[in-house]
Amino acid sequence: MDFGFTEKQEKLRKAAREFFLNEMPEDFDPDVETMFSLTKEQTAFWMKFQKKAGKKGYLTPGWSKETGGLGYGPIEQGIVEEEWGFTGGRWPNASGLHIAGPAVQVFGTEEQKKKFLPGIAQGTAIWNQAFTEPDAGSDEANQKTTAVLKGNYYVLNGQKTFITTLIKPDYLYTLARTAETEPKHQGISLFLVPADAPGITYQAQGTMGFGTQLNIYYKNVKVPKENLLGELNRGFYHAMAAFEFERSGTGNPANAKRRLTEFIQFCKKTKRNGKPLIKDTDVRKTVAKMAIDIEIQRLIAWEAVWRHSQKGQLPPKGYDLSGFFNKINSTQHPETMMHIMGLYGQLRSGAKWAKFAGKIERRWQVARSVHPAGTLEVNKIVVAGRGLGLPRIPARFNKMIAESLQPKKK
């Protein structure tokens, strides 16, 4: 048992922190600045910054040196992510770093690795994860986008929705149906699609907090055969395996801790009815509870990272509660903080009279976004099913049940 880090790891932490502190502009406030719909200047800044971090190896410290990383293990990767999370910044290529990149690492051919990984490690490329469709949300296997092999190309047709990006993407890591199968998840494949391929159109979605989501339409999009990732018709399994990387985030609790730390300062400085907020018994209890929530999230995330670092030596656990706690905390904490602020809580950043720069209001809106990588409910189903071995109705009965729900014709 050891809840600490080695000297070497602490050194890495310090170096990463110093780098981030030195590079992040003084006038950047992670909870005020929008981080979406970036202006020209903002786009340029974040791309430049991402590349700088890439040069230092801080984007992918856990990748091998050959693939542009620092050759560290999962723990070191977790440390750098924790430091980055604490700054409150977001890499424009978050989906590439956490989802598409690891998937290419594991399932890619040598050519694919050579072609795609350097851009991710160096911070030059932007990837989106384009899985969700109007009829394929939680039911990811219900892919209606088709990919049909024609000569040397797969031809893609369909629509993706809720695809997150901060900046114009270079590649789409996408799912499409390659066979009509029963069960339906056995006919799906993964593709690495150049984002500027003819036939792709992008449409902005307006979402709470002003949105970073897109509708993406594929119309006869030609994707070279060699851009199929992994095995044909095994894409669903590959994608689920790669999700594991996204779910074990040490960055989220670090980010939450920054906000709580700032909120504590706010409660010290701000008087309500003549008394500093921090002296109020209810406020004290609530703030302390949030600190515990965040610590739990940190420990749960680290347990997952540690397990990952012990791969092969430990039996798999079957479930990971990082997402579960993140989804609960990141929705409940802004609500709790807003409650403390009374009527002022509803003032947006920039508004006259806004308290605490309107940061909490913004978090409150953004907190309604916690559904990527499976809703809280889906997370619980995974814990119950895969983790605890509780039964579920086999998918082959779904259609039967649906039919039985149809009103009877006379």
Ligand X SMILES: Cc1cc2nc3c(=O)[nH]c(=O)nc-3n(C[C@H](O)[C@H](O)[C@H](O)COP(=O)(O)OP(=O)(O)OC[C@H]3O[C@@H](n4cnc5c(N)ncnc54)[C@H](O)[C@@H]3O)c2cc1C
Binding-site member from 66, 135, 295, 335 for another protein (CB under 8 A): 295
DSSP state of 279: G
Residues 172 and 218: their CA atoms lie apart, in Å, by: 11
Provide CB contacts within 8 A for 406, sequence distance 6+: none
Binder of another protein out of 233, 309, 369, 375 (CB under 8 A): 309
75 lies in the site for another protein, by CB under 8 A: yes
> Considering the complex, what minimum distance in angstroms separates the CB of residue 334 from another protein?
18
- 80-99: contacts with ligand X (CB under 6 A): 95
Nearer CB in complex with another protein: 55/285: 285
Closer of 137 and 199 to ligand X (Cβ): 137
272 binds ligand X (CB under 6 A): no
What single string gives the DSSP state of each residue in 78-112?
HHHHHHHHHHT---TTHHIIIIIHHHHHHH--HHH
Pick one of 58, 72, 127, 131: the residue that binds ligand X (CB under 6 A): 131
Q: Give the CA angle between residues 207, 199, 40 to the nearest 5°.
A: 50
For ligand X, which residue of 377, 395, 397, 399 counts as binding (CB under 6 A)? 377
Beta-bridged to residue 191, according to DSSP, are 174, 228
Going by C-beta distance under 8 Å and a sequence separation of 6 or more, which residues neighbour residue 172?
Answer: 127, 128, 129, 130, 160, 163, 191, 192, 193, 195, 200, 216
Q: Is the bond preceding 118 in cis, omega lying within 30 degrees of 0?
A: no
The binder of another protein chosen from 77, 87, 143, 330 (CB under 8 A): 87
Q: Least distance (Å) from another protein to the CB of residue 95?
A: 16
Stretch that binds another protein, among 37-45, 112-120, 174-182, 232-240 (CB under 8 A): 37-45
- What is the spatial distance between Cα 15 and Cα 370, in angstroms, rounded to a whole number? 31
Q: Whole-number minimum distance, CB 309 to ligand X, in Å?
A: 27
Q: Is 23 in the site for another protein (CB under 8 A)?
A: yes
Q: Is residue 129 a contact point for ligand X (CB under 6 A)?
A: yes
State which H helix or E strand residue 301 sits in: helix 281-309
- How many residues bind ligand X (CB under 6 A)? The answer is 19
Q: Within 13 Å, how many C-alpha atoms sit on residue 395's CB side?
A: 8
List residues binding ligand X (CB under 6 A).
Answer: 95, 129-132, 137-138, 162-164, 213, 369, 371-372, 374-375, 377-378, 381
